Amino acid sequence: MFSEDEYRLDFFVDEGFQRKKCEKCGKLFWTRDRARKTCGDPPCAPYTFIGSPVFRREHSLEEMREHYLNYFQARGHTRIARYPVVARWRDDIYLTIASIADFQPFVTSGLVPPPANPLTISQPCIRLDDLDSVGRSGRHLTTFEMMAHHVFNTQEREIYWKDRTVQLCDELLSGLGMDPMAVTYKENPWAGGGNAGPSVECLVAGLELATLVFMDLKAVPGGPIEIKGERYEKMPNYIVDTGYGLERFVWASKGSPTIYDAVFPDLVRKVADLAGVEHNLNDPEYSKIFAQNARLAGMVDLDEYSMKDLRAKIAGSIGISPEKLEKTIEPMERVYAVVDHTRCLAYMLGDGIIPSNVKAGYLARLVIRRTLRLMKELGLAAPVADLVLMQISRLDYPDWQERFSTIKEILDQEEQKYAETLEKGKRLVKKTAEHFRKMNQAIPLQEMISLYDTHDIPPEIARESAEEMGASVQLPDNFYSLVAKTHIRAEAKEAPKLVLPGKTELLFYEQPFDQVFEAKVLEVVDGSVILDRTLLYPEGGGQPADHGTLEKAGQVFRVVDVQKSGEVVLHKLERPGLEKGDHVTGKVDMRRRLAHARHHTATHLVHDSAKRVLGKHIWQAGAQKSEDRARLDISHYKRISDEELKAIELEANRRVMETVPVETRFLPRTEAEKLFGFELYQGGVPPGKQIRVVRVGSDIEACAGTHVTNTGQIGAIKILKTERIQDGVERIEFAAGEAAVRACQERDDLLGKAAGALRVPAEQLPKTANRFFEEWKGQQKEIERLLEELARARLKTLTAEAQDIDGLKVVVQRMGSADIEELLKAASLLAEQDYVALLGSETGKLVAAVGKSGLEKGVKAGSIIRAAAKLLGGGGGGKPDLAQGGGPDVEKLAEALKAGCEAMRAGS
């Protein structure tokens, strides 16, 4: 907890603020109003702005954003452009959840200078935590813009701190026409993402408009300060992190019943019209219902409050029945949610997320499917793509307009996919329901979980169809938490990588083609030596380590692995023998190095070509190189066709033929981002202040790997195959340089062998193979037909030698080297004519069949076979009328048949 000193600002004192304790929640807050008793935050205080706006006039979203950014620009802040909603510069979160996320971790840690200081930004953010409340609460959104001003203070230079921050906030609000008496600043320590600090929430008329965070702590185990159970210590740098809810400002300026009616009234109107839902806020009765709903919903946390209770309470306070309330607001709740969700999708897809079953793509699919369900409930037949495109055309991002057709294709495909999943689901439910209805049981919970978990059939839908079928289900209220439980597993914690002190100078960037270097052994750790300088590339960025040798006084030590740890490079040796202080001559295995370099540069080319051929939504999702091949994973929403693959291969090879120089240079991170954008981070986010930028023609990436100096050195690129490693991620495997030539040769060999086997030239292979296959199929049919005929023909011979055993016609015969099919045919024909048959072949196969009279007498084919096959050293079995078996001791066939014969007698 923070002491009062942290909050007793000169600004508060000068302005006549008092520090008070909320009589309801006990939290401390600052106010100008001597009569105020509560902190101003629901549920301690109600919404009072609905119907009576807190600002002088109404602002649209665009007006409010401009007003805000201009205000801070006029006060010395630099306006910077928004970051994408996909946090590609982060490896810990998928979506941008706050404006400060743009600057974590390197700017906030002080490692990298901010793009401007102080700065102001309006950052679109996506949070899916409260998905279920969107539309219902009147205030929740999945997507919102967090307006902010940020200051990054250092020990050397303080720009401004708490006083100025609160003052700027206060004056911004007063300037918009807010009554200064109405605002409260509630003390609320903030912690998140490894940082923490004092913070105040700015509340007006029950609405939290802004949060002002003074981030000056970082998490340290055993640190002196405790906040929310974590230990922290002071940071040398300290940061003003503010967040102003753009949508809430707009809402406060309008005082409309819901935030949705304030933020996107035009789209709410359109969607309501499309769905045929009446929505007339000018009708005072109708408007009152929504206003009251929002006021009361604003007071509770929907997670903890049952919808039914809330509805009853609201209905009571307006004086209508809960049924009427529900009928009035439920369709609109869905309309609101659809409008919100489609805006969310516009941002997600516009910023390049590809729907998938994993990672950020899964979140996109989640929102898409939720939207489709809502639309279905509304009876809204329009394609979801149309609604999303409507959102996009409303937003001012020109590059998104270009992506219209891709986005439409993605959404249409998702819609179709979901329809198929549901269709399949319905059939499955039907089947399951029938099964359990027959058994006169309710469908067990386990089955319901499996339907949802494995086939995405929501239990509510499953119940509905099952009950239509006349089956009951077991469905507890805490269904989803039960599902979650089945997924809980102890997570394997990764051991923190040991960071060794010291520094190894990396020579391979400056001298990529030098082979020999002199160095000194700084340390020996577990059979690995640390050198003061090295030409050997340590594993990283999907490129394996170099190999080579270290030599001391004629002794040669092979280097079998090279790893980076902190700023030092560890060279793992095949055998021990080097000591601290030794001077060594190092040598790089250039063959391996060059093969890696070729594949690495080729990876950049294939990536760039894929982007040209498939579209701008292509992002690298992973990559791995080796000496003889490389693979590149890219985000793409469907399978890459053969034609596209050929086009990519050709494009990549064209860049090779153009002999483009490969440029590499180190740039300050912020500058590189400014110049080239986040497309730099295809291979993940490199740490550090300076990043190495590699440019190959039009492809520019942050990359620490070793490259050739000119694409011509790659020689050739041969794509070998594609694989779909996840929904939404395609893997392209290819070879470069010598490896490409060898790969082609291997394929030629295969082709040659295949053609040789059929004795045709390779060109005729497809045609011939096809012919062979067709002929083979035809012959299979012919064989079957002939077997049938043969069996019939033999029938006469076989029956001629029938013997009579206990009044049954019995045939026991050796059938030469006939196979099991032949025996089966013959035996079953005999059985049809009421014989008991036991047929054996010299290959050790036996078949027995029993006709009608035999069956009546209790003769079982299975027992006959078991008795006979035992003698052959094998086994057998089957049904009473037909059985088969065999064994390896073929020379005992005669005895076996005899034994079978005796079994017949015993059986009858």
CA distance 304 to 570: 54
Instruction: Name which position in 160, 161, 362, 479 contacts RNA (CB under 7 A).
Output: 362
Largest Cα span, the chain? 123
Q: Does 885 help bind RNA (rule: CB under 7 A)?
A: yes
Smallest gap from Cβ 734 to RNA, in A, equals 15
Q: Which stretch binds RNA (CB under 7 A): 238-246, 480-488, 664-672, 711-719?
A: 480-488
Binding mask 585-604 for RNA (x = CB under 7 A): --------------------
Instruction: Name which position in 639, 646, 689, 814 contacts RNA (CB under 7 A).
Output: 639
Q: Does 280 help bind RNA (rule: CB under 7 A)?
A: no
Those residues with Cβ within 8 angstroms of residue 576's Cβ, 6 or more apart along the chain or in another chain: 527
Q: Does 768 help bind RNA (rule: CB under 7 A)?
A: no
230-245 and 225-227 beta bridge pairing: antiparallel
Instruction: Name which position in 53, 135, 886, 900 contacts RNA (CB under 7 A).
Output: 886
Cβ proximity of 420 and 457 under 8 Å: no
Per residue in 756-794, is it b (16+ CB within 10 Å) or e — as a string? eeeebeeeebeebeeeeeeeeeeeeeeeeeebeeebeeb
CA distance 545 to 355: 34
User: Please, which residue, 10 or 423, has the CB nearer to RNA?
Assistant: 423
Q: Does 626 help bind RNA (rule: CB under 7 A)?
A: no
CA distance 795 to 341: 74
Instruction: Name which position in 53, 84, 887, 900 contacts RNA (CB under 7 A).
Output: 887
Per residue in 542-566, is it b (16+ CB within 10 Å) or e — as a string? bbbbbbbbbeeeeeebebebbebbe
User: Please, which residue, 438 or 489, has the CB nearer to RNA?
Assistant: 489
Q: Does 408 help bind RNA (rule: CB under 7 A)?
A: no
Instruction: Name which position in 9, 824, 830, 871 contacts RNA (CB under 7 A).
Output: 824
| Coil vs helix vs strand at 780 | helix
Q: Does 654 help bind RNA (rule: CB under 7 A)?
A: no
Q: Does 888 help bind RNA (rule: CB under 7 A)?
A: yes
Those residues with Cβ within 8 angstroms of residue 228's Cβ, 6 or more apart along the chain or in another chain: 189, 191, 196
Cα distance between the two ends of the chain? 93
User: Please, which residue, 450 or 664, has the CB nearer to RNA?
Assistant: 450
Contact positions with RNA (CB under 7 A) in 846-865: 849
Instruction: Name which position in 777, 792, 814, 905 contacts RNA (CB under 7 A).
Output: 777
Those residues with Cβ within 8 angstroms of residue 77's Cβ, 6 or more apart along the chain or in another chain: 116, 118, 119, 120, 149
**Helix boundaries (H) for 61-176:** 61-73, 162-175
User: Please, which residue, 40 or 876, has the CB nearer to RNA?
Assistant: 876
Cβ proximity of 553 and 488 under 8 Å: no
Smallest gap from Cβ 484 to RNA, in A, equals 6
DSSP string spanning 472-513? -B---TTHHHHHHHHH-----PPPPPPPPPS--EE-TTT-TT
Smallest gap from Cβ 374 to RNA, in A, equals 15
Structure tokens at 476: 């507890």
Smallest gap from Cβ 628 to RNA, in A, equals 17
CA distance 897 to 813: 8
User: Please, which residue, 661 or 877, has the CB nearer to RNA?
Assistant: 877
Smallest gap from Cβ 855 to RNA, in A, equals 13
User: Please, which residue, 6 or 644, has the CB nearer to RNA?
Assistant: 644
Return the residue matching tokens 């490129």.
Answer: 543
User: Please, which residue, 197 or 361, has the CB nearer to RNA?
Assistant: 361
| Nearest alpha-carbon partner for 50 in 268, 294, 284, 269 | 294
Q: Does 428 help bind RNA (rule: CB under 7 A)?
A: yes
Beta strand extents in 680-834 (DSSP E only): 690-696, 699-702, 717-726, 729-736, 803-805, 808-814
User: Please, which residue, 464 or 806, has the CB nearer to RNA?
Assistant: 464
Smallest gap from Cβ 406 to RNA, in A, equals 18
Cβ proximity of 351 and 400 under 8 Å: no
Q: Which stretch binds RNA (CB under 7 A): 14-22, 84-92, 402-410, 874-882?
A: 874-882
Long-range pairs of 620-624 with CB within 8 A, sequence gap ≥ 24: 620/682, 620/683, 621/729, 622/542, 623/541, 623/542, 623/683, 624/542
Smallest gap from Cβ 782 to RNA, in A, equals 10
Q: Does 676 help bind RNA (rule: CB under 7 A)?
A: no
Instruction: Name which position in 877, 894, 895, 905 contacts RNA (CB under 7 A).
Output: 877
CA distance 548 to 593: 10
Q: Does 724 help bind RNA (rule: CB under 7 A)?
A: yes
Q: Does 52 help bind RNA (rule: CB under 7 A)?
A: no
Q: Does 825 help bind RNA (rule: CB under 7 A)?
A: yes
| Coil vs helix vs strand at 469 | coil
Structure tokens at 351: 């910023």
Q: Write out 543-585 in H/E/C secondary structure.
A: ECCCCEEEEECCEEEEEEEEEEECCEEEEEECCCCCCCCCEEE
Smallest gap from Cβ 778 to RNA, in A, equals 8
Smallest gap from Cβ 359 to RNA, in A, equals 5
Binding mask 437-476 for RNA (x = CB under 7 A): -------------x-xxxxx--------------------
Instruction: Name which position in 348, 882, 897, 901 contacts RNA (CB under 7 A).
Output: 882
Structure tokens at 822: 């032949």
Smallest gap from Cβ 193 to RNA, in A, equals 15
Q: Does 838 help bind RNA (rule: CB under 7 A)?
A: no
CA distance 480 to 449: 9
Count of residues touching RNA (by CB under 7 A): 53
Structure tokens at 812: 């026991």
CA distance 690 to 685: 12
Smallest gap from Cβ 629 to RNA, in A, equals 14
Q: Which stretch binds RNA (CB under 7 A): 62-70, 505-513, 720-728, 755-763?
A: 720-728
User: Please, which residue, 138 or 844, has the CB nearer to RNA?
Assistant: 844
Smallest gap from Cβ 725 to RNA, in A, equals 7
Instruction: Name which position in 324, 431, 747, 792 contacts RNA (CB under 7 A).
Output: 431
Those residues with Cβ within 8 angstroms of residue 57's Cβ, 6 or more apart along the chain or in another chain: 177, 253
Binding mask 332-361 for RNA (x = CB under 7 A): -------------------------xxx--
| Nearest alpha-carbon partner for 135 in 366, 266, 293, 368 | 293
User: Please, which residue, 192 or 873, has the CB nearer to RNA?
Assistant: 873
Smallest gap from Cβ 642 to RNA, in A, equals 13
User: Please, which residue, 141 or 849, has the CB nearer to RNA?
Assistant: 849
Q: Which residues bind RNA (CB under 7 A)?
A: 357-359, 362, 365-366, 369, 417-418, 421, 424, 427-428, 431, 450, 452-456, 483-484, 487, 489, 639, 723-724, 727, 773, 777, 781, 824-825, 828, 831, 844-845, 849, 869, 873-879, 882-888
